[in-house]
Structure 1
Amino acid sequence: MYVVIFVWGCGSNQSSVDALLKKPLDSLSIQQISNEIRKNPYNGELFMRRSELYYNNQLIDSAINDAIIATRLDSLKPEHFIKLSEMYLSKGNSEEAKNTLEKCNRINPDNDEVLVKIATIYFYVKDYKKTNENLDLAAGVNPHNAEMFFIRGMLHREKKENKAAILNFQKATENNPEYFEAFMMLGLINAELKDSIAIQYYNAAININAKDIQPYYNLAMFYQENNNVQKALAEYQFIIKNIDKSYIHAFFNQGYINMVYLDEFEKAISYFDSTLALKADYVEAVYNKGYCYEQLKNKAKAIEFYEQAKTIVPNFQLAIDGLNRLDKKK
């Protein structure tokens, strides 16, 4: 009697899948993943991987189709539903995004991450009652969910309840010390309140992501708006030298500071020239050059730039007012 032993190839297939899934997404091609899918047509992770690659290549509809397949093959993986909902949102389809997450919640109840995502969509469509309901459900599952506190903070900010907003953003950072957006919101609200603790929050955001230009710019604006112009100028210079040498707002604002705060009109003109080299139709920069020349008693140049501002924006009131001022000085 002979014993026949069948050897199946699924082990090698699985090892091939595992190897592919471990590779960085940007090292893969759509063709590579498609070849693997043909050999493993019921593997949801492969479909989600290809979906992400489609998405990164701006093939949104193909990405959504693959993500839908992934949610059907792996319906117990909330992360697939979350990614699919984000793809719908990128197309502006908040209804499908919400439906996707609510379907996930029916299949995988009591997932705090899904509940917070549902709350987030309701927040952006301004259904604040549903936002609160889903945040409360999420808090019941996981009272330490940082994103739950962040969305609650955004809800209070929308209602102009700054104290409650600050409290929730602080709780978000306590539960996730790397929560960049929460530190940024804390900086923004405190800057609006003219509280210097905003500096601390913006610096915390910089420590989390030193390559993001926004906290540097917000910090410079805080200094500028609170008459600490030398620190503002230093921040703008830092941005240009270390973050983005073509950051137009850093050039424009240095011109503005020299024009408004320091009466350094010639220096201001040079910064507005740098601004216009980056964007020739920046009408405020053109007007400001005219204003600087007016202060320098160069009437012809002032008229030239006021007129130029009007060619960019015909009804630009500041330029019209400038021309009227000069006309009265005849």
Structure 2
Amino acid sequence: MNRLRGFFTLLFFMGYIVTYSQSPMTPGFKMLEGGQFEKARDFFSEYLKTDSLNQTALLCYGRGTGLAGNTTEAKEVFDKLQKRYPGNYEIDLNMAEAHMWSKDFKTALELYADLVKRDSTSFAATLGYANAYSENKEYDNALEYIAKALEIMPGNGNALVSRKYMRLGKASKYSYVGEFDKAISYFDLILAENAKDPDALINKAQALISLKKYDEANDVFEVLKSVSGKEVDAYLGMSRIANLQKEPKDALTIIEEGMAFTDSSTIVKASLGKVNALAWNKKFDESFQLLKELKTEYPDNLDVLAGFGRINIWSKGFAKGAGYFEELLKEKPGSFDGNLGYADAHHAQGLDDVAFKYVRKTLEYYDEQRDALKFLEKLYVAHDPTISSHIYFSKDNGGNTSENYQVSATYDPTPRFRTSLTYYQRSAKSSVSEIANQKVSVATISPGLSYKVNGRLKIGGEIGFLNTSEYQRVLGLLQADLNVGKYQQFQLKYNQEMQTFTSELIERNLKLDNITLNYNLSLPSKIGAYSQMIHTQVSDGNVRNLWFASVYYDIKQSPVLKAGFNYSYFSFKEQLPSIYFSPDVFRGYELFAAAENVNEEDAKWIYQAIFAGGLQQISSEKSQGIYRFDVKTGWKFSPRFMLMGYYMKSNSAASSVQGFTYNEWGLKTKWVLPFRKL
């Protein structure tokens, strides 16, 4: 609306050009009309030296002064005139407009209300009143009075432009709260009068994107491509849509085509669009190279600085990304990208105390901003108290069955500190053991805690109090998770567990002390690796060493689809086949494919599935074919509640302590309570 200031009462002054067409003040009037406000101010300042009480000259001097930027002096001029000519409509009209220039919109609204009450047929007052309502974001009233202004002066260009921006403002309010269909109805009103209005086209396309109506949004951008000077905006929008449709290669091709339409005013935003598209394609080196070139050419451009922060986060350089956003906030504390980007960088490192702080800072600057509110809700979902349940049943072809019930709860006193409590009960029965068809039960209560030390290290522990009808045990767990560089994670864990797979093993009171090292590598090239090594001391004196290695390729990242090769190896110091599966050596080789969409933001029907097949070799026996599959599916009712059922089966000896074909089926639920205490 800023572009309209200075025009609200300009028509009133145009009358002077006619009335005083041969007046010495005519050049000054034309300066005002042509927007040469500083020259007009100086002209009337000189004129007043010879005619200091001329009302028209003083009004014009006040207008030139205010429109040139000195609104305080302008209001002083009009105030003196109001005292000299109390009740003068023309002077009061200029005083109201002066408050618009100084952005004192509430006072301006009150003054225009009085002016319209005094003369409801005044076009200048009615237009000013409408614009004052608009600047106060009271768009319904603004639209009511702009309609009245157009009744007074049909087709007036200034009023039509004002109405367009009022409609844009009203639509923006609807978009802000997620009512995109209502917003689109206002954009369509603008487009009905001008089918190629760039502001309406861009905003309509953005609203359609928010509604995930990507094809319709693309159609709008196709129209925008035909608007001179807006081609780059069209290609940027279409590139973004291609990425949202999981077609990053197309996104890059589109923005490269759009680069042909750049000029000095659009080269930076177009180049930043290409930076994003390169990153969507995991071409981070090229993305950073382009950013460096932009930084050299435009060293003070804050959008380029934000680009460095954003691409660092996307390439898992979270701490470095945070540094760029921190630098941006020093330059512009109220930056939306800076505050929300700084929050995002810390969230990615697990430092959600900082993330909470800066999301809230974003909302202080941008009240009710939709993206910031979504981020805040995501943080609450990650830290609000959680109750999870897991009920499952199992059987193998060795006559072993089990019933299992588990309930877990978490509570985070702070974003870095988590407490948990788990209750687990297992009842096992064997049809072939010495205690055939007799259920043996074990129950465990396990309180635990974890703490995020910094962006790289997380530590945690748990104590388990296990009870059976024959004995009690206290079991411990200590764990440390360490991120090394961008792409590597290590986990070192010591835990104790009781062998509870079968009723006979429960009766034997066998305790396992495990030392586990897990390693994960995830590269931008879509190649990943996972490895696990476990050294186990069994309370009967036996020793187990296990190694598992997996190499995989990410075929698709959203939703996840990957395939790879697994190798597993384990051996026992002593062979006790009558008690539990304990070969001197076991080797397994398998190919696998896995898919899931559980972490997809908008997924309602959710699934996780893995299928694998290969060979296993036990001791010196011949290789045997193996298979396994694990299929989970369910429904995500909301980000706070989900339910999944599953069935898994495997004939791999590695899947069962007894080395038998193993079947398991069950139900999982997770409920995040809406406490919002952090």
The alpha-carbon distance between structure 1 residues 157 and 70, as it changes in their structure 2 partners (threshold 3 A), is farther
The residue aligned with 1:288 is 273
Are 2:224 and 1:236 equivalent residues in the alignment? Answer: yes
Q: In structure 1, what is the Cα distance between the partners aligned to 2:153 and 2:191? A: 16
CA apart distance, 1:114: 3.2
Unaligned runs of 5+ in 2: 1-16, 175-182, 209-215, 318-485, 488-522, 526-678
Matches within 5 A, 1:8-23: none
Counterpart of 1:329 in 2: which secondary structure? coil
Q: 1:321 aligns with which of 313, 338, 346?
A: 313
RMSD: 3.8
Greater shift, 132-141 or 258-267, is seen at: 132-141
Q: In structure 2, what is the Cα distance between the partners aligned to 1:183 and 1:254? A: 25
The residue aligned with 1:196 is 185
Give CA deviations for 1:266-305 in whole Å, capped at 9, x if unaligned: 1222213533x435861x4323213323445656534432
Q: In structure 2, what is the Cα distance between the partners aligned to 1:129 and 1:280? A: 36
CA apart distance, 1:185: 2.7
Q: In structure 2, what is the Cα distance between the partners aligned to 1:238 and 1:317? A: 33
Are 2:290 and 1:305 equivalent residues in the alignment? Answer: yes
Question: What one-letter code is carried by the residue in structure 1 that aligns with 2:124?
Answer: E
Give CA deviations for 1:234-286 in whole Å, capped at 9, x if unaligned: 4423321xxxxxx3xx23312222211134321222213533x435861x432
CA apart distance, 1:87: 0.6
Counterpart of 2:274 in 1: which secondary structure? helix
- Is the strand fraction higher in 1 or 2? 2
Question: What one-letter code is carried by the residue in structure 2 that aligns with 1:85?
Answer: G
Question: What one-letter code is carried by the residue in structure 2 that aligns with 1:319?
Answer: I
Matches within 5 A, 1:254-293: 254-262=234-242, 263=247, 264-265=250-251, 266-275=253-262, 277-279=263-265, 282=268, 284-293=269-278
Are 2:24 and 1:47 equivalent residues in the alignment? Answer: yes
Are 2:40 and 1:63 equivalent residues in the alignment? Answer: no
Greater shift, 262-271 or 108-117, is seen at: 108-117
Q: In structure 2, what is the Cα distance between the partners aligned to 1:110 and 1:168? A: 23
TM-score by length of structure 2 reads 0.34
The residue aligned with 1:143 is 120
Give CA deviations for 1:198-252 in whole Å, capped at 9, x if unaligned: 3324654x59xxxxxxx82212223212324245324423321xxxxxx3xx233
The alpha-carbon distance between structure 1 residues 138 and 64, as it changes in their structure 2 partners (threshold 3 A), is same
Q: In structure 2, what is the Cα distance between the partners aligned to 1:89 and 1:111? A: 19
Greater shift, 177-186 or 52-61, is seen at: 52-61
The residue aligned with 1:211 is none
Contact 2:191 2:197 in 1 (8 A): yes
The alpha-carbon distance between structure 1 residues 88 and 107, as it changes in their structure 2 partners (threshold 3 A), is same
CA apart distance, 1:81: 4.2
Contact 2:29 2:40 in 1 (8 A): no
Q: Give identity over the alignment, percent.
A: 13
Q: In structure 2, what is the Cα distance between the partners aligned to 1:253 and 1:93? A: 35
TM-score by length of structure 1 reads 0.65
- Is the helix fraction higher in 1 or 2? 1
The residue aligned with 1:225 is 206
Q: In structure 1, what is the Cα distance between the partners aligned to 2:95 and 2:293? A: 50
Question: What one-letter code is carried by the residue in structure 1 that aligns with 2:261?
Answer: S
Q: In structure 2, what is the Cα distance between the partners aligned to 1:48 and 1:117? A: 18
Q: State how many pairs are aligned.
A: 269
Q: In structure 2, what is the Cα distance between the partners aligned to 1:47 and 1:185? A: 38
Q: In structure 1, what is the Cα distance between the partners aligned to 2:80 and 2:37? A: 27
Contact 2:218 2:241 in 1 (8 A): no
The residue aligned with 1:164 is 141
Q: In structure 1, what is the Cα distance between the partners aligned to 2:107 and 2:37? A: 34
Q: In structure 1, what is the Cα distance between the partners aligned to 2:53 and 2:133? A: 39
Give CA deviations for 1:139-159 in whole Å, capped at 9, x if unaligned: 243112233233333443444
